[in-house]
Structures are given as C-alpha cells and as structure tokens.
Amino acid sequence: MDEREYLHMYQEEHSHWWYAGMRDVVLSLLPRSSLPQGPRALDAGCGTGYFMGWLREHYRARAIGIDGHPYGLALCRRRGERDLVRGDVAELPFTNEAFDLVTSFDVLSEVQDENSRALALGEFRRVLKPGGKLVVRVPAYEWLRSSHDAGVSTHHRYGGKELRDAILKTGFQPVRLTFANTILFPVAILWRMLKRARLAPPGSDVRSSTRGASWMNSALRSVLKTEAAFLRKSSLSFGLSVFVVASKPGE
C-alpha cells in the first residue's frame, strides 16, 4: 500500500463510518470475557496504529504492532505508539507463544501469493499461546475486485469457505466465521460497477469523500452498528468483508 493510502487511513480511522463500524463488529465477535485480563496483543499489519490504542481502551491489552511500511510506522509514532516492529507477517520476529491475541485486518489479502498467506497464518498460530485468539478480516469475493483493490494493494479477495479452510489447515479451531457490511452490499455492488465503468472516482473507497457529511457518516455508522448487534448471536452469509475468530488449541 502506498503512502497516500496510509495517509488517508491516518486521517479517517477515528471517525469514518466504515472504520468505526468494523470496530463495532470486532466487539461483537470477540467478547472481553474470551480473553485473559490485560492480554498481550499483536496487531499484525498495524497500519497507522489506531487499532492498538483501541485494543488498550476496550480490552486493556498490552499491544504491539508490526508493519512492513516505514511510513505507516512513522504515522504510528505520530499517534504516540512506541511498541512497534518493522517486519513481515509471514516471518514474525517474536518468540513462540508470546501473545494472547493476534489481530490482522485486511492484511492477508495484501500478501501476494497463497504460500506466503499460509506462512502468515502459521506464524500467527506459532506466536499465540495455547487457547489464544486470532481475529482476521479480509475483503470478500474476487468478483468484487475494482480500482479500490489496486489502491490498497489487495492481491486476493476471499470466499467464506476458502478462509475457513485456510484457518483449519493451519491448525486453528474456528470460533466464529461471518460476513459483514451486508446491509449496504447492493449499494457496494453498484458502486464497484460504476468504478469499473469509470463513472465513480478511482482508488480506495475509504477516504473523506466516502465519509460524506456528518449526518451521512452517522447514518452509515448506525447501519454497521445494527449489523454488529445482530452478530453478537448470529452470523451473516454474505457481505463485503469476511471475519473469522479462531482459537489455538490448548488449555
């Protein structure tokens, strides 16, 4: 992902309806009671670092971030983050069983080849303690590919079964698998079609131009909050993103 997209992320993560709504989904899928007190957490592909602070706020986590882009890490430091490592998610520089929680959002999809994506999942498993939790989000459906994916360096979009199979093959036990951003799915399909026809702006979709006025941003955030509430007890069978929560077998 290039520096312009990191800057868009830095500017939008706090208030953009999509980022905020995705965090609501995480809260629904990962109850605080499923983690030990003060969990040690790794945000694998931490971007500009906002989620590290969010983990501390909502889970009292001791969060460490790793990212491969120096500009992303510079923006993390601008946020005040210091527990940072530059590295590759397919070759994590951490000891075995170091973390209670690993999160990785729209990062596996940026890994170029299937073998490296499998290595990354294996690394997530290696650094987790027995019983530790993994939370992964990836973009859904290759047929939804557009200039947005080129803008954020998405090399692969996933199907639900494909993600589940990859998790099982790595030795994780899936706890929850669901799609998200389902209510807005028809609108998203139309938007991607317009992008392909060059009738909508090229590049990534998560920036100030898609946040809109404050009333629109609040309304769209409410849509995702409604989904998040539903996801506390049920799952969604299609959507723009796929989430999996998995556990490393053990105590």
Contact present, 160 and 179 (Cβ < 8 Å): yes
30-84 residue pLDDT tens: 999 999 999 999 999 999 999 999 999 999 999 999 999 999 999 999 999 999 9
Query: 189: left (phi > 0), else alpha (psi -120 to 50), else beta?
Result: alpha
Residue 82 CB coordination number (10 Å): 11
Domains of the chain: total: 1
Pairing of strands 241-247, 128-139: antiparallel
Q: Which domain holds residue 14?
A: 3-247
pLDDT tens, residue by residue, 96-127? 999 999 999 999 999 989 999 999 999 999 99
Tallying the residues shown for the chain, one arrives at: 251
Domain holding 102: CATH number? 3.40.50.150
Q: What is the pLDDT of residues 128-185, one digit of tens each?
A: 999 999 999 999 998 888 776 777 778 899 999 999 999 999 999 999 999 999 999 9
How many other C-beta atoms are found inside a 10 Å radius of the C-beta of residue 80? Answer: 9
Positive or negative: CA dihedral 241, 103, 226, 14: negative
Given strand 173-180, what is the order of strands in its sheet? 84-86, 62-67, 40-44, 99-105, 128-139, 241-247, 173-180
Against a cut of 0.85, is the pTM above it? yes
CA distance 68 to 27: 26
What is the maximal distance between C-alpha atoms in the chain? Answer: 54
